[in-house]
Copies of this chain bind each other. A is one copy, B any other.
């Protein structure tokens, strides 16, 4: 008896775990007699591209709809309808493996559903391979280790659990990688800012605020290597000064946030009063245009309120 083909898919706007979980669950299912195809709901992001290159693995077919290709589907790393296939209502969901809350999800029939409140879907899949005693090929183990590194920021995210750590260590061994060195390299690749100009970086995620008559501009970039980003410090300073002049900003704050350590280095340029207001508000010292902001990751919660209060 040949099983009818089912599609296995992660969420829309896919990250590494969404694509990798589809691949590893599809492989596991096929090893146990099912007929499945992993697909992805979008192009790989920079980090995911790096991962698929590293382990020399083919990125799955891209589609955001079933389009009559199958009558049954399996969902990984999501369950909510709006994150799933556009035509999800036309098919039967037979399996879900996920680590998110359950919402906007309903079935007509009983199904296989496996969720755990842990850091990564690939950790749950690692457990399932173990439970079913199926060997994980080295390349797929490398993808799965990458997904765990991605979702848990190398086990440093508050969502990371001891199970994620066990899984990552075991998968890294199977894949033959040093997960700490590789993890840093992978996260760096994902936050690679090198192909963007400093002008693009100070525009990319920037917001303007009016604070007691002062025009304040606050931009933020994420990185795993602040020193590397600041190799272009002179360019940042020159671009920011031009911005301030052209837009009459009294203060420009560029937050360079290390997502691994949850610390920020600020590049602070503006009129003397505004800069000293920033120093008081954030209880820091601006020296050579730079300020250390340990523990600061959120513009909305940790920068805007104290600054607005101090002006």
Q: Are B100 and A110 in contact, CB atoms less than 8 angstroms apart?
A: yes
Which residues of chain A in 91-127 are interfacial with respect to chain B, using CB atoms and an 8 Å cutoff? Answer: 94, 99-118
CB-contact partner of A131 in B112, B115, B131, under 8 A: B131
CB-contact partner of A102 in B100, B111, B116, under 8 A: B111
| Complex Cα spacing A94 to B117, Å | 9
Q: Are B115 and A111 in contact, CB atoms less than 8 angstroms apart?
A: yes
With A102-B102, A102-B107: A115-B117 Cβ-Cβ less than 8 Å: no
Q: Are B112 and A101 in contact, CB atoms less than 8 angstroms apart?
A: no
A242-256 vs B: 1/0 string, CB under 8 Å? 000000000000000
Contacts of A99 in B (CB 8 A): 110
Q: Are A109 and B101 in contact, CB atoms less than 8 angstroms apart?
A: yes
Which residues of chain A in 123-176 are interfacial with respect to chain B, using CB atoms and an 8 Å cutoff? Answer: 131
CB-contact partner of A103 in B101, B107, B113, under 8 A: B107
Q: Are B115 and A110 in contact, CB atoms less than 8 angstroms apart?
A: yes
Q: How far does the Cβ of A34 sit from chain B's closest Cβ, in whole Å?
A: 14
Q: Are B117 and A114 in contact, CB atoms less than 8 angstroms apart?
A: no
Q: Are B113 and A113 in contact, CB atoms less than 8 angstroms apart?
A: yes
Question: In which size bucket is the chain A interface?
Answer: 20 to 34
Q: How far does the Cβ of A159 sit from chain B's closest Cβ, in whole Å?
A: 8
Contacts of A100 in B (CB 8 A): 110
Q: Are B117 and A109 in contact, CB atoms less than 8 angstroms apart?
A: yes
Write the chain B residue with the least CB distance to A103: B106
| Complex Cα spacing A100 to B107, Å | 9
A67-104 vs B: 1/0 string, CB under 8 Å? 00000000000000000000000000010000111111
Contacts of A112 in B (CB 8 A): 115-117
| Complex Cα spacing A107 to B113, Å | 15
Q: How far does the Cβ of A199 sit from chain B's closest Cβ, in whole Å?
A: 40
Q: How far does the Cβ of A97 sit from chain B's closest Cβ, in whole Å?
A: 10
Q: Are A113 and B110 in contact, CB atoms less than 8 angstroms apart?
A: no
Q: Which of A101, A102, A116 has the most CB of B within 10 A?
A: A102
Q: Are B114 and A107 in contact, CB atoms less than 8 angstroms apart?
A: no
The 6 closest A-B pairs by CB, nearest first: A110-B117, A113-B115, A101-B107, A103-B106, A102-B107, A101-B110
Contact sample, A vs B, 18 pairs, CB 8 Å cutoff: A94-B117, A101-B107, A101-B108, A101-B111, A102-B105, A102-B106, A102-B107, A102-B111, A102-B113, A103-B107, A105-B106, A110-B117, A110-B118, A111-B117, A113-B113, A113-B115, A114-B115, A131-B131
Q: A101-B107, A102-B102, A110-B118 are in contact. List 19 more A-B contacts (CB 8 A).
A: A94-B117, A100-B110, A101-B109, A101-B110, A101-B111, A102-B105, A102-B106, A102-B111, A103-B106, A105-B106, A110-B115, A110-B116, A110-B117, A111-B115, A112-B115, A113-B113, A114-B114, A114-B115, A131-B131
